[in-house]
Structure 1
């Protein structure tokens, strides 16, 4: 029911409180406010995690005294070598002699008497069989303490941490997967989710076969069962050293 009220010389309709339009307007307004507040809360939580790899060293302990993870060490590498008594470094980022960070890292590792392993991986595609076998063998042969890093220390370093958990520490897949964590800036969307596929498929294979995880079983599965276009064979033994003369 609508009444007319006078304001000056004009008459304005006054909507009664039982009007559907009146009831809907405040609800829409409250929902908009709630959505904005929720969006702001998500930004406040996610933004620091997403930016952490680029604003800090993104350093983490995988196994105390045995393995660590970080983003690109840059100028802090000599300090990290001394502080953590590093014996080896695994670089997953790639790099060439045309990039100063790569040259500095190789030279700092050499000056510190640290073995340098060079294994470029993609952060957004499924790893090949050869890449996974090289990663397993590098993690198994690199003398501890080992530092693993890529550019941000989030995705490729997350995969290497998971594989370290599986093969070196012998953790089951569900526990090993904790190496992928938002606390180090890993968000499995827009590509990095493909890095989960080998571990998810291995866990599904174990369940289908009624088997328990064993480190040697994982490596055998990668070589013989993993779905990949490259051949099922062992790669050449991995040795420390840069891919380019520096």
Structure 2
């Protein structure tokens, strides 16, 4: 969206995250708010890109990964037999959120939310919540963030670590194939898995045992050094969330 049009848009509608989250809180009531949600999803949240490229991939027979879906994509997932959606981005300040919640409800798909960050490590409580989700939801499931590149990569990796303790398949989910740039600031997510492989695996610990006994997100983050060019491409060129 051109900068001038973006400024006018933000003057006409709520601009603070808290105000936007309240404004777009589902259900969408009235045609004006619904129309605004669609415009916001396609223009402000870059949904026009995801209309063409969904970054949708099969992880295994029970799990898929994706970017933020549009309503018609949620309906397609229903036809594929998907039972649960796990939203890792939050995104409640965008029109994408109520439209996804509504589409999931209409399709009879359970909707779960657990907000993770693409440039910061999850804490123990977040990992335990994800463990509970992965062990309790109905499958097949789709796990997604905004672009399907970083948090979806982390979520798919954690699926293999938490349920299967398979770090090789976990690391295979965190690659450029999915748009994940390891050398950028989002590479701190890779550093977490690699630290487990280095410290936890030789001790015979499962991933969650290591999380509870030896995981130090502050130390991992402090030791990680992103590459300037990769970070510029991910943050400035791609505008990753």
TM-score category of the 2 structures, normalised to the smaller one = 0.5 to 0.7
Structure 2 equivalent of residue 193 of structure 1: 187
Q: Give the 5 Å matches for 1:40-189.
A: 55-64=52-61, 66-96=62-92, 98-168=93-163, 170-189=164-183
Q: Runs ≥4 in structure 1, deviation > 3 angstroms?
A: 52-55
Q: SS in structure 2 opposite 1:89?
A: strand
Q: Distance in 2 between matches of 1:129 and 1:172?
A: 19
CA RMSD, Structure 1 to Structure 2 (Å): 2.0
Q: Give, in whole Å, the separation in 2 of the partners of 1:79 and 1:54.
A: 14
- Segments of structure 1 that go 5 or more residues without pairing to the other structure are 1-51, 230-246
Gaps spanning 5+ residues in structure 2: where? 1-48, 219-241
The answer as to whether partners of 1:53 and 1:184 remain within 8 angstroms in 2 is no
C-alpha displacement of 1:177? 0.7
TM-score using structure 2 length: 0.65
Deviation at 1:55, TM superposition (A): 4.6
Structure with higher helix content: 2
Comparing both structures, which one devotes a greater share of its residues to strand?
Answer: 1
Structure with the greater alpha carbon radius of gyration? 1
| Whole-angstrom CA distance in 2 between matches of 1:146 and 1:165 | 14
1:203 aligns with 2:197: yes
Pick aligned residue for 1:227 from 206, 216, 236: 216
- How many correspondences in the alignment? 170
